[in-house]
Structure 1
Amino acid sequence: MKKKNTSGPRFKALLKVANITTTGFAEFLGTAPQNVHNWYTRGVPDHCMEAVARKLSVNSEWLKYFEGPKDARHLRLVDETGSTFDAQAIRGVYTVIEPTDVELPFYKEVPVGPGSNKTHVIVDPSQPLRLPRSHLDSLEINHADAICAHMIGNSMAEKIADGSTVAIDRGLTQIVDGEIYAIEHDGMLRIKYLHRTPGNGLRLRSHNSAEYLDESFRAAQIEEQNIRVLGWVFWCSTLNKRRPPVPFL
């Protein structure tokens, strides 16, 4: 009976312990980030197993089947030419350089089921965003707390344009009056200025206040309407939707 490749969870755990992002390891290995992400659930493919095991300094049998010693120092490895090396002698050669960017998972609002008008906010692993590690460190943001999402609609124009990508710190959910936060409102993903009101109430304010009036919620309404703060918006990017024509051409 053929043994099952169960390397996915161990591979993912190794990267987490080493604080290596999916994109960072993909670049080091010379493959696409989506391939590495798929390995978390499908397992490292056979044709990459030895290379991945060497770069992470683990026994490929342990990585693939959870058998034998974890450490590669007990192995003798064979290179492409057929030459045999003691694994311990080459440890340290395959060092994953700490990436300068942090990969933020992307969250979006989607229907809870086919044809449903009810939505919820979920992670979309197909389109992560990368930001410089220094940006997060300067704001004392835990890298694991950072996520991203799209701004939907013009309620925050001219501050944040429709379609912009925003970065969110889930570690800061305590409301500081007048700061911009991402919230989930009964399954809707919304970006607003937040203000506390007496009695544990909440006021939502749009930057485009000419078109969008303030919304106020009492504590009971916050619970009834499933309003929860996802985190503080600390970064946004805006892509100009129109390329200006160049005159006199």
Structure 2
Amino acid sequence: MRKNTSGPRFKALLEAANITTTGFAKFWGTEAQNVHNWYTRGVPAYRMEEVSRLLSVNSEWLKTGEGPKESPGLTPPASNGDTFDAHAIRGVYTVVDPNDIDLTFFKETPLTNGSGKTHVIQDPDQTIRLLRAHLDNLDIRHADAICAHMIGNSMADRIEDGSVVAIDRGLTQVVDGEIYAIEHDGMLRIKYLHRMPGNGLRLRSHNSAEYPDEVFHPAQIEEQRIHILGWVFWWSTLSKRRPVVPFL
């Protein structure tokens, strides 16, 4: 097995993009000390793919220094030529017309190594349009807005299974009782979040009868790879059934 020597390359990537240790840790949803440790110990193996995707580099290059550095296709340019580098660590957006923004979708999908694990990646086949005014009224940077599908009934009856949610990746600081999208060990989850003493985190479902609260301490947050993708600011509502038309 090739040795993980990613620490210096990881540090150099952040410095080149003017990303501070604290800034990266805040985006990732962990402590700055954990990120600082990666400078000497290397990026943990279970996080190598995710960190590589965020920084738009080849994971093998990041781990060992071998092979091509660039990982093409991870952050494709928008049709109008606008792109965003690792300094933003954000999704790419397209301006459709003066009133609309075409937002990219992200989805949970299996890893290719046959481990049965999943991760959250961009879905190149889906977009959704939202009014530019909706984002502007909430002070959301257009490049920070992404979309995903609600999976499961843990947030029913407020957000139904299959609904589309819009996420502001610029707001990852927890405001108690707000709805956030998180990536939990590669799983995309939509939950109410609450801060807990000692930097802990409480996950709460709207459907609390079937899904009791989950509380995670800082060590568990790190071990279970929990990081906040962003604040959920909009969602579609899908009816549970089509109405029956009488007298036909």
TM-score interval, normalised by the smaller of the two chains: 0.5 to 0.7
Shift in CA distance, 169/243, structure 1 to aligned 2, threshold 3 Å:
same
Q: Which residue of 1 aligns with 2:123?
A: 124
Match of 2:202, SS?
A: strand
How big is the shift at 1:164?
Answer: 0.4
2:106–2:147: 8 Å Cα contact kept in structure 1? yes
Q: Which residue of 1 aligns with 2:230?
A: 231
1:15–1:21: 8 Å Cα contact kept in structure 2? no
TM-superposition CA deviations, 1:6-45 (whole Å, max 9, x none): xxx9x8596328xx96462xxxxxxxxxxxxxxxxxxxxx
Aligned partner letter, 1:192: K
* Cα distance in 2 between the residues matched to 1:129 and 1:118: 27
Q: What is the count of residue pairs matched by the alignment?
A: 165
Shift in CA distance, 206/13, structure 1 to aligned 2, threshold 3 Å:
closer
1:112–1:120: 8 Å Cα contact kept in structure 2? yes
How big is the shift at 1:174?
Answer: 0.2
Q: Which residue of 2 aligns with 1:200?
A: 199
Identical aligned pairs, as a percentage? 71
Aligned partner letter, 1:101: D
Structure 1 residue ranges (4+ consecutive) displaced by more than 3 angstroms after TM superposition: 11-15, 20-23
What TM-score do the two structures reach when normalised by structure 2?
Answer: 0.63
Query: Where in structure 2 are the equivalents of 1:17-166 lying within 5 Å?
Result: 22=94, 24=96, 98-113=97-112, 115-166=114-165
- Superposition RMSD in Å: 2.2
Residue 16 of structure 1 is aligned with which of 59, 66, 82?
Answer: 82
Q: Which residue of 1 aligns with 2:189?
A: 190
TM-superposition CA deviations, 1:58-80 (whole Å, max 9, x none): xxxxxxxxxxxxxxxxxxxxxxx
Provide structure 1 residue ranges, at least 5 long, that are not aligned to the other structure: 1-8, 25-97
Q: Which residue of 2 aligns with 1:218?
A: 217
What TM-score do the two structures reach when normalised by structure 1?
Answer: 0.62
Shift in CA distance, 208/13, structure 1 to aligned 2, threshold 3 Å:
closer
How big is the shift at 1:238?
Answer: 1.8
TM-superposition CA deviations, 1:139-182 (whole Å, max 9, x none): 00000000000000000000100000000000000000000000
Provide structure 2 residue ranges, at least 5 long, that are not aligned to the other structure: 1-74, 84-91
